Structure 1
Amino acid sequence: MNENIPQDPFLLLSYVNLKLRDYYPSLDEMCAALNLDKAAVTKKLSGIDYAYDPDSNQFV
């Protein structure tokens, strides 16, 4: 994962949801723009029982 984003899963959750809410219409677009590995982000957040919901464009 990009070293400029939080590595702690709870901080990552907050960071990603803020970016999705305020700047990006989808997880794919956010990952492309920020050069993030979508699978790595999704895996890290699934470790704390969060999954991406495309309808709300958030991890819930």
Structure 2
Amino acid sequence: MSLENIPKDPVMLMSFLNMKLRDHYSSLEAFADDMDINEQELKSITDKLQNAGFTYDSARKQFV
């Protein structure tokens, strides 16, 4: 999966990532690795979510 197939809207992106993390991955890093998303791209995604007010809770494996 490339970044172009990931939702652009921050709320949709958060929902998409939380679903993927809940159903398929043990961590955000595992998701990125499996989706061939490099560290810089992952930072871009998390920055976009942080700018929208969401933070990643690694203990819960989700953005809140």
TM-score by length of 2: 0.86
Partner of 1:42 in structure 2?
Answer: 46
Instruction: Provide structure 1 residue ranges, at least 5 long, that are not aligned to the other structure.
Output: none
- How much is the aligned-residue C-alpha RMSD, in angstroms? 1.2
One-letter amino acid of the structure 2 residue matched with residue 35 of structure 1: D
Deviation digits for residues 9-57 of structure 1, max 9, x if unmatched? Answer: 1110100000000000000010111123210111010011111111000
Partner of 2:16 in structure 1?
Answer: 15
Q: Which runs of 4+ in 1 moved over 6 A?
A: none
Instruction: Give the distance between the partners of 1:41 and 1:52, measured in 2 at CA.
Output: 11
Q: Whose helix fraction is larger, Structure 1's or Structure 2's?
A: 2
